Amino acid sequence: MGTGKRGLITAAVTTVCAVTVLAAPGTAFASPAPTPSPATTPTAAADKDLEAVRKKLDNLYHAAAVATDEYNAAEEQAKQQSAEIVRLAKKIVKGEEELKELKERAGAAARAQYRTGGLPPEAQLMLSDNPRRFLDGSGRILQGQRATKGLIGQLGRTQQDLKLYAKDASAQWKKLEAHRKAKAAAQKRIEKQIAAAEKLQSELEKEEQERLAKLEEEAARRAQTAWLDSGVLKDVQGKASERGIKAVEYATAQMGKPYGWGDEGPKAYDCSGLTSQAWASAGRPIPRTSQEQWKHLPRVDIKDMRPGDLIIYFDDASHVAMYIGDGAMVHAPRPGRTITIAGAGSMPILGVVRPDAN
């Protein structure tokens, strides 16, 4: 990437960061400017206090993001369990219908045997006035006996299948209840963390809130600048795939829509809701949560990154964004924010995955 182009990119991303960006925990950024001496101005002292508030807010929202991933995972598992229970229920209904038919056929076979008087073939031959007709009939009887034996075997297998279906359905129901409980617990943690963050922010004066926003912008700008200065993008020349272009178009078209934890659109999204729906629109379904995206999608080096790839953030893979080129990404930041473009290096990167690697 040329120096002139890079300068333009840095300026563009800096401008975007100045508008809106998800600030990462303090450990993710370069240290703030040296703390002034005891003879500092009131403003400098206030900034120091606000920096502590900023870090606390980051921690609260990060905890909410982790819980959101747990919520989404439990929701997906509950959906799968519900679908499996429905599938098993249909098999049970079909099996019961088949069992009823088999019982009717077995009953008919038993009645037919009763009509012969239960005599052994030798006795029937001696009492028959037409041995040839008897021999022809005995062949059909033999076939009928074999069919009855097969019928009884099929009846037993169907009964066994029904027992297994019922057992599986019971197990799936227990899993469904467990995932519902996990989802409810995650929801409580999310609401608790967000409420704490909102309370902390509400206690700030208007001027303090404005200054806090500037501190967040500065932290994101420092992180992005340091990331670019590292030369990490100098060899990045990846060209987007056809599906990658569609995914980027979808994601950027959602800009301005609000963040909503657990949401997959179309009115609001959380971070992985945005990326999963963007790739679904491109014809490539991917896992729902950022952690599952990191776990199951093919990984690529940053130097091989191309538009449409997903950038996974933080050591616990609790946030995801979509790379759109020139050092920028689009993402759903956090509660209270809207989908926006930010510097790809404004948060600590865990790695990059590619949904359409194959």
70 backbone dihedrals φ, ψ, rounded to 5°: -65, -40
175 backbone dihedrals φ, ψ, rounded to 5°: -65, -40
Residue pointed to by tokens 């052994």: 120
b/e per residue 96-116 (b: at least 16 CB within 10 A): eeebeebeebeeebeeeeeee
Instruction: Give CA–CA dist 321/340, Å, rounded.
Output: 10
73 CB-near residues (< 8 Å, 6+ apart): 288, 289, 291, 292
Concerning whether 179 is annotated as a catalytic residue, the answer is: no
Report CA 122 to chain centroid distance, whole Å.
Answer: 71
**Selected catalytic residue, list 17, 62, 179, 331:** 331
**Selected catalytic residue, list 17, 62, 271, 296:** 271
Q: Note whether 68 and 190 are within 8 A (CB).
A: yes
Q: Note whether 309 and 322 are within 8 A (CB).
A: yes
Concerning whether 331 is annotated as a catalytic residue, the answer is: yes
Concerning whether 319 is annotated as a catalytic residue, the answer is: yes
Tokens describing residue 167: 């057992």
Q: Is 262 left (phi over 0), alpha (psi -120 to 50) or beta?
A: left
- The residues that are catalytic are 271, 319, 331
